[in-house]
Structure 1
Amino acid sequence: MKVLLLSAYDADSHKRWRRGLVAAIPEWQWTVLTLPPRYFSWRVRGNSLTWARGEARDTLRQPWDLLVATSMTDLSALRGLVPELAQVPTVVYFHENQFDYPRSDTAVESIEPQLLNIYTALSGDMLLFNSEYNRTTLLEGAEELLRRFPDHVPKGICRELADKSHVLPVPLESSVFLPGTGKAERPTFIWNHRWEYDKGPDILLAALRRFGREGIPFTMHMVGQQFRRQPAEFAHLKKLLSKQGALGAWGYQESLAEYRQLLVESHGVISTARHDFQGLAVLEAVAAGCEPLVPDSLAYPEWFGRGGWRFSDDIESCAANLSAAMLRCARRVASGAPARLPDVASLSWSRLGDEYLSLLARCAGR
C-alpha cells in the first residue's frame, strides 16, 4: 500500500500524530510531505500552490493507493492543480476547525479559512475528527455559515459531511504512561500549553491571584510552546509567581525527559483554554498521574466527564471556579488522600492503532 501523507501546517500536535500513525502501520509504504507552522493565512491558502508547482510536484503525480491529509491542506485546489490526485481515495484528519476558534483583537475578519474547511471536507472521501466536540462545532458552524449566503447554496452539504465522518482521537504514546509516584511534597501544578491568547493566560493570572490569598505554599510550572510575541499576561504571571514563592519551571522544556519529570511530580494539570479540540497536553499529564483541573466544556467532558470547573465569559467567575478547584486539589494533597484520576489508557496507540488501520484500509478499498 503506497500512502501519501500531507501535513500542510505541521504544528507540534500534527507532527506527533503523523509520526505515531506512520509508526503504527509500518507495513505500508509512507511518503510524508510537510510545511512549517508559520504565516497561517498564507500557509492554509497557499499550500496547494507550494506543493503543486514546487519541488513536490513529481511526488504528487505518482500513483498512490491512499492520500491522508490534515484539514489545513487546501485539498480541493490541490486536486485541481494535480489531476492525478483527484481519483486517489482520501482521508482528511481534523485536528481543529476554523468555526470554533476565538479571534484575537488584532485578527482580520475573514470567512475564507472556514470556507476552506468546507471545501477540503467535501473533497475528502472520509473525515476523521480528534473529538466529537471538534466534529459537532464544524458541522454546526458550517451550517450557520452556509445559511448566511444569499443564493445558490446547495442543500445537504452538512449531511454529506456528517455521513462520512468519524471520531478518532490523536492517540497517546506508550511512553507517556508514567508511574504516578514521586510527587512533590507541597501542592504542585503545571500549565503546559501554547503561550497564546486563546489558551487563557488572563484567566490563569486572575485565578493565581485568588489562590495566592489562601496562603498555601505551592509550586507552579509554566511550560509549553513559546513564540516571539506572546500575551503580556505571561510577564505578569512570572512576577506574581516569584512574589508568591511559587515559581517552578518556566518556559519551553527542551528535554523531553525533564518535561516528563515535571508531569510526574505535579499533582494537577491546569487548562484555561478558550478552545481545545482534544487537549493532548492535558491527556499526557493525566497519563503521568496529574489530576485534570480543566473547564467543564470544550472536548474535556468526553474524556473526563462533567466534573471540571465551570467556564463562563466572565474572567473573574472563571478565576473563582479554577481557584476553588486548585484549593480542593491542594487540600487533598495535604491530607495524603490519593487522587481519583480518569483512565486514559483507551486513548493510547496500542488501543486505537487497529481502528486507524481499519478505517484507512476501508477508505483505500472503496
Structure 2
Amino acid sequence: MQSEGSPSPSVLLLEPFYGGSHKQLIDLLKEHIGGCSVFTLPAKKWHWRARTAALHFSQTVPTCPSYRVLFSSSVLNLCELVALRPDLARLKKVLYFHENQLVYPVRKEQERDFQYGYNQVLSCLVADVVVFNSAFNMDSFLSSISSFMKKIPDHRPRDLDLLIRPKSLVLHYPLHLPDVSRLLPKHKLLRTPFHVDDTLEPRGGPPLPWSDPHESRTEQCPGSGGGPGVQVRPLHIVWPHRWEHDKDPELFFSTLIKLKEKKLEFHLSLLGQTFTDPPDVFSEARRQLDGHVLNWGYLPRKEDYLQVLCEADVVVSTARHEFFGVAMLEAVHCGCYPLCPRALVYPEIFPAEYLYNTPEQLCKRLQGLCRRPDIARRHIVRVDTSSFSWTSLRERYETLLAT
C-alpha cells in the first residue's frame, strides 16, 4: 500500500507488517506528522515479510529528492534496503522495535531461526537512531547480542552492542486513548478513590473475609443503583491478546478451568486477533468454558472492542513474551483491574500490587476476585495511562522524525 501525505513528503514511513500495533503506529504518525509518505505490506506471513520486504520496497518506493527521514519497524531488513537503494542510505534512518528476535520466545531454542535476530542486529548497525518501545525491550536486546553471536561457529563479531547502544533510546508506544466515558457502566463512573483495604491481601493484616462461593452472593456493588440484597453480577474476566502460544493461553485456560471446578462464578470475554491457525487449546477451552463465555473472538470494530473492555472487571495477561502490552493498557484505560506476570515489561509499567509470580498466585488472585467482584469494581488502578498517550508523547516523536 502507498499513501502520499503531501506533494513534497519529507518522511518515508515503511511497514512490512501493517497490522495490530504496527498499523496503529503508522496511522498515528501519518495523521499527525506532516509530510509523510507511507508504504506498507499486509500483516500476513510474518516470516516472509522479514525475509523479503526490503527487496519489495526497493522496487516500489519511488526516488524522491525531498525525503529526509526514513522510519521503519525492525521487521524490515534495513541493511538490505539501503544497499539496494543507495539514495535512501543518505536519509536519517530510524528503526523502531516493537519486539526483538533475540529473546522472542520459541518452543525449543534449537528452533530459533538465527537469521531474524541477525537481520535486526545488522539493521541497527546501519540505522542512525534505534528506538525501543520499552526499557525491557532495549535492555534485553542489547544484553543478548554477545551471547547470540556466539552461535556463529567461528570468526564471531565482537562488541556490537557498544556500537548500537549510543544511538539507542526508549520511546514508549503512543496509545490512542479515546474518551470512553459514555461506554462505562455506572459503577466505573461513580467509583470512590482506592483504599488500601480494598486489596485482596492488605499489607499489615489478614486477607479480607471471602464469602462462601456456594452461597447466593448479595453484596451491594457500589454504583449498581440497587439496594441491599441485589444479586451481584459474576466477575467479568477479559483476555485481549493474540491467539498464539507466546501469550500462553494454556496457562490462562487451565486457571479458568480450576475456577470452574471450584464452582466459582465468572464471565469470560476472549478477544484478540488470529494471524495463523490458533493453537488447539482454544477449541477445547471453548467447549469446557462454554457456559461462562460472553464474547469469543476478534471484534474488528474498535467501538465494539472498547465496549467489552468497559464492561469487563479484570484483564489478565499470561504472556511469555511482551515488550510493551498495548492491550493491557487499553483495558486499564477502560477501567479494568490488571493481573500480569512479574516479568517481561510489566514491572516497568504496573505497580507490584498487579503482578503475580506463579500460576498458583494468579489462580488465588482470581479466586478472591470471583468471590468478591466488588473489590475490582471499586478499585481505581494506579497506572497513569495518559503518560503513554499520543498527547504526552507527540513532541518526542516530532523531534525523532525531524531532520
TM over 0.5: yes
Tell whether 2:309 aligns with 1:263: yes
- Go from structure 1 to structure 2 and tell me whether the alpha carbon gap of 1:11 and 1:255 turns closer, same or farther (over 3 Å shift): closer
- Go from structure 1 to structure 2 and tell me whether the alpha carbon gap of 1:255 and 1:63 turns closer, same or farther (over 3 Å shift): closer
List aligned pairs for 1:67-216, cutoff 5 A.
67-104=70-107, 108-175=111-178, 178=181, 180-182=184-186, 185-216=233-264
List aligned pairs for 1:232-311, cutoff 5 A.
232-242=280-290, 245-311=291-357
How far apart, CA to CA, are the structure 2 residues paired with 1:9 and 1:76? 17
For residue 327 of structure 1, report the CA deviation from its aligned partner.
2.3
- Name whichever of 250-259 and 178-187 sits farther off: 178-187
Name 2:389's counterpart in structure 1: 348
How far apart, CA to CA, are the structure 2 residues paired with 1:336 and 1:32? 42
Q: TM-score, normalised by structure 2?
A: 0.81
Q: Structure 1: any 5+ residue segments left out of the alignment?
A: 312-316
After superposition, the C-alpha distances for 1:221-257 in whole angstroms (9 at most, x for unaligned) are: 0111024511111012111211xx3111011113221
SS in 2 for 1:145: helix
List aligned pairs for 1:217-232, cutoff 5 A.
217-227=265-275, 229-232=277-280
For residue 62 of structure 1, report the CA deviation from its aligned partner.
4.2
Letter in 1 for 2:293: L
For residue 171 of structure 1, report the CA deviation from its aligned partner.
1.3
For residue 158 of structure 1, report the CA deviation from its aligned partner.
0.2
Name 2:367's counterpart in structure 1: 327
Say which one has the larger Rg.
2
- Go from structure 1 to structure 2 and tell me whether the alpha carbon gap of 1:44 and 1:154 turns closer, same or farther (over 3 Å shift): same
How far apart, CA to CA, are the structure 2 residues paired with 1:65 and 1:114? 27
Letter in 2 for 1:118: V
- Go from structure 1 to structure 2 and tell me whether the alpha carbon gap of 1:176 and 1:37 turns closer, same or farther (over 3 Å shift): farther
Tell whether 2:9 aligns with 1:7: no
- Go from structure 1 to structure 2 and tell me whether the alpha carbon gap of 1:292 and 1:40 turns closer, same or farther (over 3 Å shift): same
Q: TM-score, normalised by structure 1?
A: 0.89
- Go from structure 1 to structure 2 and tell me whether the alpha carbon gap of 1:324 and 1:46 turns closer, same or farther (over 3 Å shift): same
SS in 1 for 2:329: helix
After superposition, the C-alpha distances for 1:160-189 in whole angstroms (9 at most, x for unaligned) are: 211111111111113165475346932101
How far apart, CA to CA, are the structure 2 residues paired with 1:177 and 1:94? 29
- Counterpart of 2:24 (choices 3, 13, 16) is 16
Q: 8 Å contact 2:369–2:375 — kept in the other structure?
A: no
- Name whichever of 126-135 and 168-177 sits farther off: 168-177
Of all paired residues, the percent bearing the same amino acid is 32
After superposition, the C-alpha distances for 1:232-283 in whole angstroms (9 at most, x for unaligned) are: 11012111211xx311101111322121111011111111111011010111
Length, aligned pairs only: 349
- Go from structure 1 to structure 2 and tell me whether the alpha carbon gap of 1:211 and 1:97 turns closer, same or farther (over 3 Å shift): same
Superposition RMSD on alpha carbons, in Å?
A: 2.2
After superposition, the C-alpha distances for 1:328-361 in whole angstroms (9 at most, x for unaligned) are: 3334424686113022111101111111112332
SS in 1 for 2:262: coil
How far apart, CA to CA, are the structure 2 residues paired with 1:176 and 1:249? 23
- Go from structure 1 to structure 2 and tell me whether the alpha carbon gap of 1:220 and 1:336 turns closer, same or farther (over 3 Å shift): closer
Letter in 1 for 2:248: G
Letter in 2 for 1:212: K
Q: Structure 2: any 5+ residue segments left out of the alignment?
A: 1-8, 188-231
Letter in 2 for 1:277: F
Q: 8 Å contact 2:137–2:323 — kept in the other structure?
A: yes
- Go from structure 1 to structure 2 and tell me whether the alpha carbon gap of 1:191 and 1:38 turns closer, same or farther (over 3 Å shift): same
Name 1:39's counterpart in structure 2: 45
After superposition, the C-alpha distances for 1:129-168 in whole angstroms (9 at most, x for unaligned) are: 1111111111122121124435544443202211111111
- Go from structure 1 to structure 2 and tell me whether the alpha carbon gap of 1:227 and 1:117 turns closer, same or farther (over 3 Å shift): closer
Q: 8 Å contact 2:70–2:93 — kept in the other structure?
A: yes
Name 1:314's counterpart in structure 2: none
After superposition, the C-alpha distances for 1:76-109 in whole angstroms (9 at most, x for unaligned) are: 1100100101111111110001012111469954
